[in-house]
Amino acid sequence: MVTIRLTRRGGKNAPFFHVVVTDSRKRQGGTVLEQIGFFNPVARGKDRRLELDLARIDHWTKLGATMSDRVRALVTSARKQAAA
């Protein structure tokens, strides 16, 4: 089963997450099919907090990929920002 989820990067006390499409049976930092964005929860100043390729997310969900709860919330907020 294919899933869209976050994989953690960055150092201690400086989390940074990639939004990736991967096989759900693989471990979190393992092989990915495609990287479709990033999430920086501690962004300051002009740093971007969230960047997602919504077209690729739609593509993968049409093929049957499921999103994790956190990614689903991030996609919802990204769509609201894009609409505004």
Q: Residue 27: which domain range? A: 2-83
Domain count, the chain: 1
What is the β-pairing status of strands 14-23 and 50-52?
Answer: unpaired
The CATH number covering residue 32 comes to 3.30.1320.10
How far apart CA 76 and CA 15 sit, in angstroms, is 21
pTM value?
0.89
Helix (H, G, I), strand (E, B) or coil at 8: strand
Q: Which residues contact 21 (CB under 8 A, 6 or more apart)?
A: 2, 3, 4, 32, 33, 34, 35, 36, 56, 60, 65
Return the H-helix or E-strand segment holding 11: strand 2-11
One digit per residue, the tens of pLDDT, for the chain of length 84 reads 999 999 999 889 999 999 999 998 887 777 899 999 999 999 888 889 999 999 999 999 999 999 999 999 999 999 998 888
